[in-house]
Each structure stands twice: as structure tokens, then as C-alpha cells.
Amino acid sequence: MLAADDVCPFCAATERVLLTLLQRKPDVALVHCRRCHASSASRMPTSEALEKYYANYYGGKDEKITVDAPARIALHIYKHAKFAATRPEISILDYGGGDGSISVELAKFFVNQGIKKVSIALIDYDQSTPKSAGENIHVRRFSDLSEIEDQSMDIVIASAVIEHVPNPRPVIDKLFGVLKVGGGFYARTPHVFPLMKLASIVNAKFDFTYPAHVHDLGAKFWNNISDCLTGGGKYQIIRSTPSLVETSFQEHFLRTLAAYVLKIPGYVFKEQYALVGGWEVFIRRRS
């Protein structure tokens, strides 16, 4: 584990307040930044520790991946990324996209619309063989974001990944930097601290899943993301809502029902209501 940092890993502000302890011995707290509204762990795991963790994560077959239907998330992204369908070719960066399930399904929607070529750049600890794709869909793994050229992507997907990144600032800057003008960015992150607080009131256990998750990012963080980014004025939030329910009624009935019930007020009350479990944004690059 790295030593505790005094500044916010997103915006480098020092105005931070302690929310709760995530673990004891050694103590790790969840700390909230008053400037950018990110909540982050006070101490970050080392990259060696994370590599070990994820090697086990992808090796084990237990139920850690909670997305029942990648196609459903892909359709959801497609609805807000249709602008790209006017282009002859589309490039997608799928950051933390595992085997590419979501981006390949997204690419299929574009191919069905007559797009001749969709190139997917995949970056993940997971090095399994990417999802098989049709002949119009080309998937290539990259080992690091630095290999992706600036302004080269029509669509950037960061679905349930930023919460895992110990040093997120350069990653976020790069994810936006690789967007072409007019390109679209989709991110989805957990926002569970309010649920943790509620759970503690009724003495229920709520696992933040540290050190897998090291950040908690809700509506306030995402709605102010342009203040946090280098050249933030170039980006426009198209949609900012509670995140899509990840599970389906067919496979996880009660969990899915609970998720819908908790998230619905979030669509109406937005930042005022926090029991959403997760938040998502669609952002376009304007210039």
C-alpha cells in the first residue's frame, strides 16, 4: 500500500473531509474532496498489489462480474452515440473493457447501420482473447493508454473502470484527449457512500470492495468534471443520470428490483438524491 496522500487524486485540492473508514490495520479512510466532489481512498494499493489482485480476479470463476447482458449496455450507449453512424469508419476505445463484450456489441449496432469498419482499441488487465467479432469489426489490444493517439477516437467507453484507478488524473485527461472533435465519451462509476451510510444506520454490512474500488463518484463529481479536466471547456455533458441497472430481472430478480426502486428518484432529484448506487454520463467534445 502506498503512503497516504494529502491531495485529491483528481483535482489536487487539499480541502478534503473524512467520510468513513474503509478498513483497519492499516487504516484506510474514504475522503471527500470539497472542490471536485470525488471521494477517494486515503491510501492507494501499489501497482504490484493490483496486478496480483486482478490476476486472481480474472482467474477465478466466482460471481464478480455483475453485468448480465453486455448487449443491453451496448444498446444503451448506442442510443447516445448514434451521431457516429454518419461516419464511414468508427474507432472505439474500450478502456477497462475486459474481453470487449460491450464494445463489440456496440460495434455490431453500427455495422447493422451500414458502417463498413469499426476499430476497437481494448485496454485491460484482462488479457483473454477478445470477443469474436464480424469481419467489419477489428479488435486490437493495447497495453497502455499512452499508445493511443490524441484525437483518434469517435467513442470512448470507460464503463465501471475509473473507480479502480489509483492515479486517475492522467487517465481521465488522456481518455478525453483521445476523443476526436465531435466524439462521445461514456463513463459509469459506482456511487455507494450514501448507501453505506444507510446500511450502517441499520447495522448492515456494506462492502466498498477496497482495494478494487478506490473512488466513489456521483452526480456532483460528473456534473463538474469539466472544471477538473485540462481544457475542460471543450466538453459538454449530454446526459447525466443514475447508471443503468446492471443486472436483469431474469437472472437476479430481487437485486434488479431493488436497484430500480433505489435509482428512480435519482432521475428526478439528481444531485439531491444520492441512493443511486452508481452514476453515468455521456459527454461530447465540442472543439
Nearer to Zn ion, 22 or 33 (CB): 33
Q: Rounded to the nearest whole angstrom, what is the least distance from the CB of residue 230 to Zn ion in the complex?
A: 14
Measured in whole angstroms, the distance separating CA 147 from the mean position of its chain's CA atoms is 20
10 counts as binding Zn ion under rule CB under 5 A: yes
Q: Does 281 bind Zn ion (CB under 5 A)?
A: no
Task: Choose between 13 and 69: whose C-beta lies nearer to Zn ion.
Answer: 13
What is the smallest separation between the CB atom of 66 and Zn ion, expressed in angstroms? 27
DSSP 233: G
Site for Zn ion, residues 152 to 191, rule: CB under 5 A: none
State which residue, 10 or 208, has the beta carbon closest to Zn ion: 10
What is residue 203's three-state secondary structure?
A: coil
> Residue 12 Cβ, how far from Zn ion at the closest point, in Å?
7
# chain residues binding Zn ion, by CB under 5 A: 8
The helix or strand, by DSSP H or E, that contains position 131, with its residue range, turns out to be none
Chain center to CA of 183:
17
CB of 223 to Zn ion, least distance (A): 14
Closest distance to Zn ion from the beta carbon of 179 (Å): 22
The region, left, alpha or beta by phi > 0 then psi within -120 to 50, assigned to residue 106 is alpha
Nearer to Zn ion (CB atom), residue 6 or residue 27: 6
Q: How far is the CB of 130 from Zn ion (least distance, A)?
A: 34
Restricting to residues 79-98, name those near Zn ion by CB under 5 A. Answer: none
8 binds Zn ion (CB under 5 A): yes
* Residue 107 near Zn ion by CB under 5 A: no
DSSP-based three-state secondary structure for 66: coil
The residue among 33 and 93 lying less far from Zn ion, judged by its C-beta, is 33
Burial call 56-67: b when 16+ CB within 10 Å, e when fewer:
eebeeeeeeeeb
To Zn ion, the closest distance from the beta carbon of 98 in angstroms equals 28
Residue 16 or 131 with smaller CB distance to Zn ion: 16
| 142-145 contact pairs (CB < 8 A, 24+) | 145/95, 145/171, 145/174, 145/175, 145/178
| Residue 32 or 263 with smaller CB distance to Zn ion | 32
Distances (CA, A) of 56 to 12, 59, 150, 213: 32, 5, 33, 15
Could you say whether residue 13 binds Zn ion (CB under 5 A)? Answer: yes
Quick one: which of 168, 175, 171, 160 has its CA closest to 77? 160
Stretch that binds Zn ion, among 10-18, 213-221, 250-258, 262-270 (CB under 5 A): 10-18
Site for Zn ion in 18-77 (CB under 5 A): 33, 35-36, 38
Asked if 221 is part of the footprint of Zn ion (rule: CB under 5 A), the reply reads no
Cβ atoms of 116 and 89 closer than 8 Å: yes
Sheet arrangement for strand 16-23: 16-23, 28-33, 39-41, 215-216
Alpha helices in 18-100 (DSSP H): 47-59, 70-81
User: Which parts of this chain interact with Zn ion (CB under 5 A)?
Assistant: 8, 10-11, 13, 33, 35-36, 38
